[in-house]
Amino acid sequence: MNDDFEIGGLRIAAELAAFVNGELLPEIGLGQEDFWQGFERLINDFAGRNEELLVHRDQLQQKIDEWHHGNQGPEYDRDAYESFLREIGYLQPAPEDFEIETANVDPEMATMAGPQLVVPVKNARFAVNAANARWGSLYDALYGSDAITEAGGAERGGGYNPVRGQRVIDYVRNFLDEVCPLEGASHADVRQFRVDDGRLQGDCGSTVHGLGEPEQFAGFRGSAEAPSALLLVNHGLHIEIVIDREHEVGAADPAGVSDVLLEAAITTIQDCEDSIAAVDAADKVEVYRNWLGLIRGDLAETFFKGGASITRELAGDREYKSPRGEILRLPGRSLLLVRNVGHLMRNNAIYDSRGRQIFEGIMDAVITSAAACLDIQGRNWLRNSRTGSIYIVKPKMHGPDEVQFTCDLFAQVEELLGLEPLTIKIGIMDEERRTTLNLKRCIYAARDRVVFINTGFLDRTGDEIHTGMHGGPMLPRDEMKASTWIAAYEDHNVNTGLECGLPGRAQIGKGMWPMPDLMAAMVDQKFMHPMAGANTAWVPSPTAAVLHAMHYHKVDVFGVQEELRKRPPPAIGDLLEVPFLPDPSALGAERIQRELDNNIQGILGYVVRWIDQGIGCSKVPNIDNVALMEDRATLRISSQYVANWLHHGLIDEEQVEESLLRMAAVVDGQNAVDPLYEPMAPNPVSSFAFQAARDLIFQGAREPNGYTEPALHRVRLAKKQAVRANS
């Protein structure tokens, strides 16, 4: 384009140049010439290494494909397979024992345990809500979700339902009795709270009771005789009891309690990757501008709800009096991490001196770090890191060489931006098979930068299917969840994190709850994540963060980790167990058809919004109309399943085409109320989304590591071009 910005050998799209030169660089005090010259040197230094890493991925996969061609079926020789993987360098020797050395880590990452929210940074409203999800109402989370049953007159609809409200209050009082009990009484018995000589007292009428553990009282607001809020602390997380006898709820409560707030999403990942659709310079600027606004502290979004205009802004810090009456301030927002994209994709926002699109991961590293410089310089309105660190989550890395590449990249970004060495920390997503098998070496490569390791079982499942693509058909999805390798993978991540000294320095994390409307099930089941030794786990919404926070009050995660240190590590053979179907003929035609329809419906339901509307994370109804949180990781699973079964003849092309057409009509019906939706079934040949779904399936066995980005980006760009041509 004629209005592109050219400097040195770089050609930068006009939209990105305007943002960087006009908004970003003036904020952080860097000149254009120094920045772009340094950026070009960095590109020249790292582009070739990036290409080599991708070639090496393909070479390893080709060798594994060839091995599986000669050793097909579930009865393959396990020992021979392990020896083969060692021979080709896929499975590498572990380093000598060590402990990580990461310094200047905020307590939210190092010494606290609690939920981690993941949100598409491209959506400003969601991004602000997620940052503010550090604190949330337990009353609201219970009242507005299925965590409280609607039976017996406790329906959610309409105005305030006192029957449901009382159930919520009873639930919360029981929770408080469990995690912050009064000595000799229940929280439900209290008629008046007061602070007496720095100690919390609950007046129950004829008796007065203090906390069973007095040190759990952390502060208050208002007067000591009649506080308006009480601050408790348990397992490092805070609880605020709000007292307001003028409030509708507080007026009916014996103690005047109108709400109970939990410190919930102590960290939030602002996502530039799987949950967004960003394929060109305009998209990337939207992403980077929101990230800059979050760091600066002025990102806001105004929208209409219920006929009223509402503006979402970032919350300030919270202020209390300590038990002795001194000023106590607590963070009002989540500690923000930013997830960059992986090593695979290029982006047309910048072309290098050879006329090639640069790698998007390199661009993300530079520009998201540059925006975060405001926080390091202390020039923003609301601080993020109080220790002077930048937290970048790096996904989809395959093995220690790719982790080392990222650490080297971060070191040169620090030099470019004038940051102290090791300012940029790395979160390692353990979501690719080669990283899992070599996790200790990966952590060693980042031993002075690593701030979390997190299992991403969705992408990990997609990579498991693709890696063993040619060995045989895979287990169905429900059976896959109970397969040997998944349990070994989850335990291996925790064991390795403990072995490498992460507790007290970094997070050991677990994956996402994918059903945002099924909070009762989450409360019942996600308890297992802290019990497994994870001091954080992903949640899809602020409501889920509040409800999941209860688990960290009930489980002493760091105590669990101490016990788990005694556990033997999983066997390497269990990690390498490929989840092949033992007897494909036993599934039967009906089961196979249902599995096919379920996967294809999920593919179409997600892809149609990605391609036509640029929505990268969707609450997609499945074939049973249960809403599932879908992103590119879940799409990778679905497309790889169909590609795998097609490759091995459990299904044929005609069957896939028939299911695509039939499920397109189902998805059209599920989206009928969306005025922006473009139906696929009436004319599938002209539907960009439908054709993208076909590509994901029929080219799935050939896509690099089974990733969906190449097809999605290609078709989304074509869709945007067609829209421009017709406008």
269: left (phi over 0), alpha (psi -120 to 50) or beta: beta
CB 377 within 8 A of CB 28: yes
For CA atoms 416, 418, 421, 423, the dihedral sign is: negative
Q: Which of helix, strand or coil describes residue 643?
A: helix
Tokens matching residue 252: 């009916």
Which residue among the candidates 164, 339, 433, 449 is catalytic per the annotation? 339
Radius of gyration (Cα) for the chain, nearest Å? 26
For residues 362 and 90, what is the distance between their CA atoms, to the nearest angstrom? 25
CA distance 614 to 393: 23
C-alpha distance from residue 543 to each of 17, 141, 554 (Å): 38, 5, 18
Phi, psi of 247 (to 5 degrees): -75, 150
Q: Is 724 a catalytic residue?
A: no
Rounded Cα distance, 235 and 558, in Å: 9
Q: 606-621: buried (b, 16+ CB within 10 Å) or exposed (e) per residue?
A: bbbbbbbbbbbbbbbb
Rounded Cα–Cα distance for residues 398 and 342 (Å): 10
In this structure, what token pair is assigned to residue 355? 């006329």
Instruction: Count Cα atoms within 13 angstroms, Cβ side, for 459.
Output: 29
Q: How far apart are CA 301 and CA 133, in angstroms?
A: 16
Q: How far apart (Å, rounded) are the C-alpha atoms in residues 119 and 634?
A: 16
Catalytic pick among 631, 694, 695, 716: 631
Work out the burial of residue 642: count CB atoms within 10 Å of its CB; fewer than 13 is exposed, 13-18 middle, 19 or more buried. buried
Beta-carbon count within 10 A of 148 CB: 20
Among this protein's residues, is 448 annotated catalytic? Answer: no
Report helix, strand or coil for 254: coil
CA 77 to each of CA 81, 91, 146, 578: distance values in angstroms, whole numbers, following the listed order? 6, 17, 48, 11
Dihedral (CA of 592, 594, 599, 600) sign:
positive
Helical residues (DSSP H) of 90-240, grouped into ranges: 107-110, 124-131, 138-143, 162-179
CA distances from 248 to 164, 188, 221, 469, 481 (A): 14, 18, 20, 60, 46
Distance between CA atoms of residues 118 and 106, nearest Å: 18
Task: Please list the helix, strand and coil fractions of the chain in percent, rounded to the nearest 5, in that order.
Answer: 45, 20, 35
Cα–Cα dist 627/623, whole Å: 9
- Does the CA dihedral 664-669-670-676 come out positive or negative? positive
- Which residue numbers are catalytic? 339, 631
